Structure 1
């Protein structure tokens, strides 16, 4: 797909660009409304495709859980292996559409790897993640930033208090969630590991607060997010923060999302996930 189309979609999903303006510009790039609609079907995450995730399996348990947040009750999707063994716990942080079927699938993947996994629904304080992804993006913009961060910090404390948890915690976030993973690393001194996929970087002056081991995954074609890499890496080195940084050349923002065919890259996603699980094994047990 023409990279200009992918860049336009990135602008639409992350900046205040109306759907009408986006579709008009998309039609101009593709050569007409019909071709624009075909391109859009390849770009937008497909909930129907994501809903066909593998069955949970007899070795896992799932439930919807709640915990007190900052002035509101927050809910999430908890998946854990059966048995009494204490395990490390991981908060899974969604993209800017909410707790979609894709992110629930990722939460299951974390649990299958042997962890207590919690996919937080940041939009639960606004009624929950809607089926319409445009509405989800609109609601994300209505969240109170500091309160939302506190809700995720409370999620980590909720996991630490679960009887299945061994006391070690991590997080993994994607896009909007990648930026939040960086913020959790800044604001939670008990966090053991934080993995950010193509996430916005924290302020350089906040980096010395980080106590967790970091793993940072970036897409080589993601100019918007990648612009913040040099300053972040300089700050990490100056503060002697343990980190690993990987740039996957030739792939786009959201390369891990297998419900978005135009941007998904199976090879990069597989490698990044293997690296992520290696860090969790090292730091969470």
Structure 2
């Protein structure tokens, strides 16, 4: 994250009351509309925090999120189409490869939130490539023209699509990436929010074709599918994320019942979306610790 932005964001995190973060979570997941969200914010009487400051802090500013430039000499970023016969026929993703690959490299599918392939998720793919992985970040909105550059519009577009076909597109992307000519045959997946759900769904759907999964604050797959989980999972949860955390006890029971290999990390004081460094929900300590754990997990399970 751009160091110039850190002090301002950290100061705002201490000033913004928790209910504002909770309302943003409801808004971002379609539980309330934008008008209701803004009306609630306007009712907060907080010294020094105007509506302009609140909205600019809670809503994404993707200029803050770039950690690895697309011009970085250590990576090469392109767009790659892949077949998806059970989904929308064809998908497209942002493919990022290290420029210094020697032999074969492990591959990681990067799965966005509920609004398409935004700049933050593309940056996550670049971070993985810089760390030595081949990363593919598909865009669920590709059949409708791709991420529109606006989260509200992207959210509406994704909500309008056939969810079953979207899931099939990600299954197709996983298959395409696992068989990439530069890959070593080991597939990992990391996803955020909706993407966390997709990681859980892949683990429950494609069996041992997935070699490691890291769902960030994602809900589990359908209960009847969970018995099929084979891949080791590293589950990242935020302490203040009541909505997603409510699904964890039952999910853990199911994982234990099949003797699944899993670890759950709960990040104290963190909100849903704590890894996303484009809003004030970003928690630098939790984000950096969780990301190092993610890289270590992939290195452990995806090495040839």
TM range (shorter): over 0.9
1:215 to 227, 234, 237: 234
Aligned pairs for 1:1-285 within 5 A = 1-30=16-45, 35-50=50-65, 53-69=68-84, 70-82=87-99, 83-189=101-207, 190-260=209-279, 262-285=280-303
**Separation in structure 1 between the aligned mates of residue 92 and residue 217 of structure 2, nearest angstrom:** 25
Q: Which runs of 5+ in 2 are unaligned?
A: 1-15
**Separation in structure 1 between the aligned mates of residue 243 and residue 44 of structure 2, nearest angstrom:** 20
**Separation in structure 2 between the aligned mates of residue 60 and residue 178 of structure 1, nearest angstrom:** 25
Deviation readout 1:168-200 (Å, 9 max, x if unpaired):
101000011111110011111110011000001
Q: Is the 8 Å Cα contact of residues 65 and 78 (structure 1) preserved in structure 2?
A: yes
Residue of structure 1 equivalent to 2:13: none
Residue of structure 1 equivalent to 2:3: none
CA RMSD of aligned residues (A): 1.6
* Number of aligned positions between the proteins: 283
TM-score between the two structures when normalised by the length of structure 2: 0.89
**Separation in structure 1 between the aligned mates of residue 70 and residue 222 of structure 2, nearest angstrom:** 41
Deviation at 1:205, TM superposition (A): 2.9
TM-score between the two structures when normalised by the length of structure 1: 0.95
Q: Which runs of 5+ in 1 are unaligned?
A: none
Deviation at 1:140, TM superposition (A): 1.5
Q: Is the 8 Å Cα contact of residues 204 and 231 (structure 1) preserved in structure 2?
A: no
> Do the aligned partners of residues 158 and 30 (structure 1) sit closer, same or farther apart at CA in structure 2, a change above 3 Å counting?
farther
